[in-house]
Amino acid sequence: MKIIKISDHAYLTTAHPASSRGIPVLVVDGTAYGPEDDLAGVMAGSAIVCSDYVSSRPLDSLADRDLICRWLSQSAQHGARWIETVKRSMQGGTA
């Protein structure tokens, strides 16, 4: 079980009934989202993870990066681009 706090109202976790086979879900105010799910009509969940977490600070560990990448890998539309952002953040690059 892994939990990454994204903000006061959001976290990425494998400890939710919507998570399966080690693929985490983004939980925002108690509701689970995948990386292509629309959040309040504003943007995809993957954009929330990358803009609020990855771009603002380096990831704490390789395990965090792997969990985020597993979640993002479900997205055919956004996954590859955002996974590269996550990997660059671990190398100290600009997201």
pLDDT digits (tens, 9 = 90+) for 46-68: 666 666 677 666 666 777 878 88
Domain boundaries, the chain: 3-90
Place of tokens 């660059």: 88
Q: Where are the alpha helices (DSSP H) in 1-95?
A: 45-49, 62-72, 79-90
Place of tokens 């993870």: 49
- Global pTM value: 0.75
pLDDT > 90: what percent of the chain?
12
Q: What is the β-pairing status of strands 38-39 and 3-5?
A: unpaired
pLDDT at 16 over 90: yes
Q: Are 70 and 22 in contact (CB under 8 A)?
A: yes
